[in-house]
C-alpha cells in the first residue's frame, strides 16, 4: 500500500511494488514523482527524512536535510542595527539551503533498493515530459502562489491562471531527472545541472557554491526509539525535533490516563494542549543539529523529568506560556512539506517526510533545470527569539553556522505492537507536524478510532509560543466546547485546515489506508 499527497504519485509507488520493488524502491520513485506532480512540496531541491523498518524489524533512518552553505553566517539575515530583514530567509536566493534530496535518494537505493535505479526515475520523467493533468486543489494551489512568489520570469508554475484539467509540461525538469537517472548523484551535484544551480546563485547573490554541492552528504542516523503503553515507537531523531517531542508527548499522555477522557472533550483538549505547550518550550532551547550541538535526548525522555513536567499541569486552568520554561535537570554533561507512507508485499515499511519548507519553497526555480529551490534556511533561528515561518523561536542550539543543518519538526514515525508492524504515519506542516502525528496516534490508540477517522478528525495545536490553541474551524461550531475552553483561560485561534496526515494501519495482517481528505491524498494498493 502506498499513501501519498497525490494520486499520480501513489500510482507510481504501487507500480514499482507490482514490479517486485520494495518499500524503499517505491519511496524513491514516489519522491521523484512528487517533485513533478506536487511542486509545492515534492522536490529535488529540498530535503527530508526517511525512516525504514524491514520485515524482520530492523530499523534505519536517513537524514537528507539541507545544510547551510559554507559561506552562511550567524547574522546573515540582520541589518546593521541587528534587525531581521523581512523575508530574506524566506524569499531570496539567500534562503536556500544546500539540497539533500538527490543524495538521499541515491543512499536509500544503495542501502535498501532492489530494482534498477533507472526504473525508479522513468515514471517521473514521463510525467514531466508528457505532461499531467492538474487536480482542482492543485490548480488552486498554483494560482494562490502566483503573485506572491513569482520570483523569476522563467518559472513555469506561476505563468498563468490554472484550472482543473489543465496539462502541465515540464521539459527542463525532465532533462534534470534524466541527468539524475543517468549519473545518479553526479547528475545533480555535478555537470550541467550543478552549473545551472551555481549560475542561478551567483547571478542573484546566493551563497551555494560547487564546493557546497560536492560536500553535501546525507547521514544514516540511529532512529529514536521509545515505548508508549505496549507499543514501540520508532521516529526521527535530531536534526528533527519531531521524534523526541512526539515521545515526550506520548509519555505524558500515557502517565495521565488520557483514555479515561472523552474524545475532543474540554478536558482532553485542555490536557493535550498543556502537554504540547511544555514539549515545545523544550524544543526552543534544546534542539539543533546534533553534528554541532549535543541534544540532551536522554534527559528529555527521562521518566522522572517527564513526570515532573506533567505535574505542573493544572487540570482546571491553562498555564500561561510565559510561566512555562524549558525544563531543567541535574546533568553531568554539559506549510509546507509532504509525507508518504508505504508498506510493501514483503512486510517492509517506509515513512518519509520531505520538504521545500514553505509552499513552493523560495519560489525560485533554477533556470534551464526546471526545479524549485527550498527556503529551508528560515528553519534556523535567524535571531534568538525571532519567530520563523511557523512562529517557532529558538536560540543558540539552532543558530546559523556554515554547513550546519537547520532544526526540523518533521516526524516520520512507525509503531510496532507486540513486535509486529502496527502503524506508519506522518504529515506535512511545520510545527503542527508533531502535534498532528501525536493526535493521530492518540485517536487510534486512546480513542479507538479507525485510521481513516483518525486522519480526518479535526485537529488542534499548541506550540507554547504564541500562547494559543490553534483549532481547525470545525471546532468553532461547538459553542459549548469553545466557551468551556475559554473558561480555562485558553486563547483560541481558528484556522481552515492543518496538516495532511497519510498513514497505514496494520491489523490482523490487513493494511488499512488513511489518506487525508484535506488534500488530494490517495491510497493505492494491490
Ligand atoms: N520545514 C519544516 C520543518 O522541517 O519542520
Helices 479-487 and 266-286 sit at what angle, rounded to 10 degrees? 50
Q: CA Rg, the chain, in Å?
A: 22
3-state SS of 163-214 is CCCCEECCHHHHHHHHHHHHHCCHHHHCHHHHHHHHHHHHCCCCCCCHHHHH
Looking at the CA of residue 353, tell me the nearest atom of ligand 1. Answer: 4
Torsions phi, psi of 475, nearest 5? -65, -25
Contact 77, 87 (CB under 8 A): no
Q: Which listed residue (101, 135, 337, 355) is catalytic?
A: 337
Q: What confidence category does residue 334 fall into, taking pLDDT thresholds of 50, 70 and 90?
A: very low
For atom 3 of ligand 1, the residue with the nearest CA is 408
Per-residue pLDDT for 328 more than 80? no
* Cross-strand pairs, 415: 233, 423
- Could you tell me the distance, in angstroms and rounded to a whole number, from the CA of residue 408 to the centre of ligand 1? 4
Q: What is the pLDDT of residue 155?
A: 83
Q: Which CATH number fits domain 224-332+410-524: 3.90.1150.10, 3.40.800.10, 3.60.20.40, 1.10.10.60?
A: 3.60.20.40
Cβ of residue 103 lying under 6 Å from some atom of ligand 1: no
Query: Comparing C-alpha atoms, which of 460, 401, 397 is closest to residue 431?
Result: 460
Note the pLDDT tens digit of each residue in 295-308: 999 999 999 999 99
Query: Known catalytic residue: 337?
Result: yes
pLDDT tens-digit map of 211-262: 999 999 999 999 999 999 999 999 999 999 999 999 999 999 999 989 999 9
The two counts, helices (H) then strands (E), for the chain are 16, 18
10 Å CB burial of residue 262 (0-12, 13-18, 19+) is exposed
Question: What element of type H or E holds 303?
Answer: helix 303-311
Q: What is the CA(288)–ligand 1 centre distance, in A? A: 12
pLDDT on residue 475: 97
Cis peptide before 239 (omega within 30 of 0): yes
pLDDT band per the 50, 70, 90 thresholds, residue 325? confident
For residue 376, the ligand 1 atom closest to its alpha carbon is: 1
pLDDT digits (tens, 9 = 90+) for 149-197: 556 778 888 877 899 999 999 999 999 999 999 999 999 999 999 999 9
pLDDT at position 197 is 98
- For residue 357, the ligand 1 atom closest to its alpha carbon is 1
- Cα of 389 vs centre of ligand 1, distance in Å, is 10
- Where along the chain do its domains lie? 2-221+358-387, 224-332+410-524
* Ligand 1 pocket, mutate which of 409, 431, 435, 500 (most atoms under 8 A from CB): 409
Q: Which residues on neighbouring strands pair with residue 48, listed in sequence order? A: 354
107-138 pLDDT tens trace:
999 999 999 999 999 999 999 999 999 999 99
Please tell me which residue, 306 or 390, carries the higher pLDDT value.
306
Grid coordinates of 370: 526546471
Is any ligand 1 atom within 6 A of the Cβ of residue 408? yes
Average pLDDT over residues 439-451: 97
Query: How far away, in angstroms, is 410 Cα from ligand 1 center?
Result: 6
What is the arithmetic mean of pLDDT over 436-463?
A: 97
In percent, the amount of the chain with pLDDT more than 90 equals 89
Amino acid at each position: 500500500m502506498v499513501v501519498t499527497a497525490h494520486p499520480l504519485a501513489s500510482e507510481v509507488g504501487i507500480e514499482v511494488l507490482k514490479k517486485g520493488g520494495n518499500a524503499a524502491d517505491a519511496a524513491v520513485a514516489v519522491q521523484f514523482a512528487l517533485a513533478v506532480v506536487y511542486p509545492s512540496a515534492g522536490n529535488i531541491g529540498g530535503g527530508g527524512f526517511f525512516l525504514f523498518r524491514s520485515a524482520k524489524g530492523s530499523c534505519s533512518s536517513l537524514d537528507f536535510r539541507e545544510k547551510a552553505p559554507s559561506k552562511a553566517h550567524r547574522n546573515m539575515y540582520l541589518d546593521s542595527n541587528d534587525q531581521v530583514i523581512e523575508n530574506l530567509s524566506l524569499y531570496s536566493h539567500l534562503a536556500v539551503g544546500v539540497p539533500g534530496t538527490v543524495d538521499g535518494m541515491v543512499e536509500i537505493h544503495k542501502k535498501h533498493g532492489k530494482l534498477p535505479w533507472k526504473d525508479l526515475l522513468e515514471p517521473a520523467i514521463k510525467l514531466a515530459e508528457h505532461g499531467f493533468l492538474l487536480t482542482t486543489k492543485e490548480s488552486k494551489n498554483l494560482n494562490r502562489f502566483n503573485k506572491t512568489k513569482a520570483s523569476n520570469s522563467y518559472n513555469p508554475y506561476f505563468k498563468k491562471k490554472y484550472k482543473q484539467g489543465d496539462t502541465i509540461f515540464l521539459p527542463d525538469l525532465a532533462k534534470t531527472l534524466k541527468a539524475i537517472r543517468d549519473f545518479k548523484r553526479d547528475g545533480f551535484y555535478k555537470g550541467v545541472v550543478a552549473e545551472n544551480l551555481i549560475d542561478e546563485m551567483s547571478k542573484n547573490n546566493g551563497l551555494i557554491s560547487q564546493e557546497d554541492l560536492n560536500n553535501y552528504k546525507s547521514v544514516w542516523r540511529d532512529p529514536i526509539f521509545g515505548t508508549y503503553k505496549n507499543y514501540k515507537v520508532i521516529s526521527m531523531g535530531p536534526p528533527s525535533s519531531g521524534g523526541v517531542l512526539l515521545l515526550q508527548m506520548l509519555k505524558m499522555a500515557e502517565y495521565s490516563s488520557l483514555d479515561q477522557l472523552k474524545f475532543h472533550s474540554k478536558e482532553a483538549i485542555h490536557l493535550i494542549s498543556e502537554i504540547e505547550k511544555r514539549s515545545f518550550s523544550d524544543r526552543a532551547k534544546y534542539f539543533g543539529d546534533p553534528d554541532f550541538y549535543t541534544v540532551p535526548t536522554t534527559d528529555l525522555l527521562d521518566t522522572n523529568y517527564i513526570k515532573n513536567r506533567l505535574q505542573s499541569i493544572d487540570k482546571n486552568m491553562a498555564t500561561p506560556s510565559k510561566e512555562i520554561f524549558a525544563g531543567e535537570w541535574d546533568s553531568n554533561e554539559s506549510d509546507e512539506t509532504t509525507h508518504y507512507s508505504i508498506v510493501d508485499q514483503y512486510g517492509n515499511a517506509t515513512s518519509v517526510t520531505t520538504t521545500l519548507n514553505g509552499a513552493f519553497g523560495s519560489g525560485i526555480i533554477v533556470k534551464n533545470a526546471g526545479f524549485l529551490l527550498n527556503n529551508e534556511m528560515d528553519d534556523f533561528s535567524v535571531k534568538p527569539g525571532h519567530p520563523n515561518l511557523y512562529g517557532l523561536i529558538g536560540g543558540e542550539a539552532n543558530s546559523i553556522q556554515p554547513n550546519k543543518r537547520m532544526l526540523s519538526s518533521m516526524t516520520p514515525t512507525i509503531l510496532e505492537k507486540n513486535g509486529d508492524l502496527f502503524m506508519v504515519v506522518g504529515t506535512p506542516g511545520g510545527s503542527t507536524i508533531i502535534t498532528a502525528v501525536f493526535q493521530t496516534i492518540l485517536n487510534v490508540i486512546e480513542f479507538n478510532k479507525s485510521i481513516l477517522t483518525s486522519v480526518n478528525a479535526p485537529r488542534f495545536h499548541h506550540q507554547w509560543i504564541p500562547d494559543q490553541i490553534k483549532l481547525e474551524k470545525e471546532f468553532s461550531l461547538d459553542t459549548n466546547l469553545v466557551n468551556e475552553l475559554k473558561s480555562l483561560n485558553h486563547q483560541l485561534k481558528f484556522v481552515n485546515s492543518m496538516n495532511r496526515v497519510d498513514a497505514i494501519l496494520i491489523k490482523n495482517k490487513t493494511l488499512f489506508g488513511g489518506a487525508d481528505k484535506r488534500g488530494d491524498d490517495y491510497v493505492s494498493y494491490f
